[in-house]
Amino acid sequence: MRKALLIYNPAAGRFPARILVNRASGVLKDAGWDITMVTSRSGRSFHPQALKAVRSGFEAVFVAGGDGSIGAAASALIGTETALGVLPTGTSNVWAHDMGLKSLSWGRLRALDLAASRLANGQIRLADVGLCNGRPFLMWTGIGLDGQMTGSLEPLGRIRKSFAVPHYLTRGVWNVRDWKSIPLRVKALGRSWEDDYIVVIASNISSYAGGIFRLTPDAKVDDGLIDFWLVGGKSLRDAFVRVIQVLRGKHLNEPRVVHFQAAEATIEGEGLLPMQCDGEPGKIKPPLKISVEPRALRVLVPHDEVPRLFSQA
């Protein structure tokens, strides 16, 4: 019988989901998994819990939480034989969405059952993992405005999570209303770009900002490359213009937006820079080295289709 650890974060998402997580655990057990379930309210403890699963020879770690919890658990599974599975109980669930899994919501109370059913006999695929000064990220890391906004909003209470998107757009904008761009120099592929940037993003997947944007529509998570986006501008007004361009799919042709793929890049600047890593805010001192560990993480994907993030072969 296959052994797996299921880590549930009861603080994640818009409402308590323990009963639904227990039911999803039952779906996995009925499919032949020996499930050990633990509860953790802090995403930071997901890393040591996942490490224990690796040392105990567990075949998989299922994370019932949001993107921060998923990223924390994934960082412990890099280079191991233990695969990552996701039961999306968080607020945004960007990774799950890009894996083709529906998120838990008031209108989809069976979402975890369906996710468990599709992953119980799922395919194992290999995914790239990004590194920012040695810190792993599964989805993205961002320097600049998004880090500032995320830091000004987290943590969200459960009531605010119920209105996560409008809350981010209104309160987030208010919190950074005096935002000014950051002068940065980015080096990669034998070239250098220097400008005042609203944000510099290193992305491993296609969606961004809680899944609102399809920033990199053709992204692949197993190509050994990171998609870099250097978004130039001076002010919050310029940021609004860039948002509209992304929503309309026009950002690819914007002169102040640079996009390239690379296995590594260096970001130089001054002082402590606001950043976010898989949605977790913080500050970081440059220079930053961003690189990729190709196909370093085993991930469970639905048995009935290959998510668009993966090569079909």
Beta partners for 290?
132, 265
- Phi-psi category of residue 144: left, alpha or beta, with phi > 0 → left and psi -120 to 50 → alpha: left
Q: What is the 3-state secondary structure (H, E, C) of the chain?
A: CEEEEEEECCCCCCCCCHHHHHHHHHHHHHCCEEEEEEECCCHHHHHHHHHHHHHCCCCEEEEEECHHHHHHHHHHHCCCCCEEEEEECCCCCHHHHHCCCCCCECCECCHHHHHHHHHHCCEEEEEEEEEECCEEECCEEEEEHHHHHHHHHCCCCHHHHCCHHHHHHHHHHHHCCCCECEEEEEEECCEEEEEEEEEEEEECCCEECCCCEECCCCCCCCCCCEEEEEEECCEHHHHHHHHHHHHCCCHHHCCCEEEEEECEEEEECCCCEEEEECCEEEEECCCEEEEEEEEEEEEEECCCCCCCCCCCC
The CB density around residue 15, as the number of other CB atoms within 10 Å, is 13
* Residue of 135 and 153 predicted with greater confidence: 135
**Predicted pLDDT at 43:** 66
The CB density around residue 239, as the number of other CB atoms within 10 Å, is 22
How confident is the model over 74-132, as pLDDT tens digits? 999 999 999 999 999 987 788 998 899 998 888 888 999 999 999 999 999 999 999 99
How confident is the model over 5-23, as pLDDT tens digits? 999 988 876 778 899 999 9
Tokens of 129: 């993992």
Q: Residue 18: phi, psi to the nearest 5?
A: -55, -45
Q: Which of 232, 202, 197, 234 is nearest to 215 (CA)?
A: 202
Residue range(s) in the chain whose domain bears CATH number 3.40.50.10330:
2-121
How confident is the model over 267-285, as pLDDT tens digits? 999 999 999 898 888 999 9
How confident is the model over 159-199, as pLDDT tens digits? 444 445 555 555 545 444 566 788 999 999 999 999 998 88
The CATH T-level fold of domain 2-121 is Rossmann fold (3.40.50)
The CATH T-level fold of domain 135-294 is Tumour Suppressor Smad4 (2.60.200)
**Predicted pLDDT at 237:** 65
**Predicted pLDDT at 163:** 47
Which of 102-106, 208-212, 217-221, 250-254 comes out lowest in average pLDDT? 250-254
Residue range(s) in the chain whose domain bears CATH number 2.60.200.40:
135-294
**Predicted pLDDT at 231:** 86
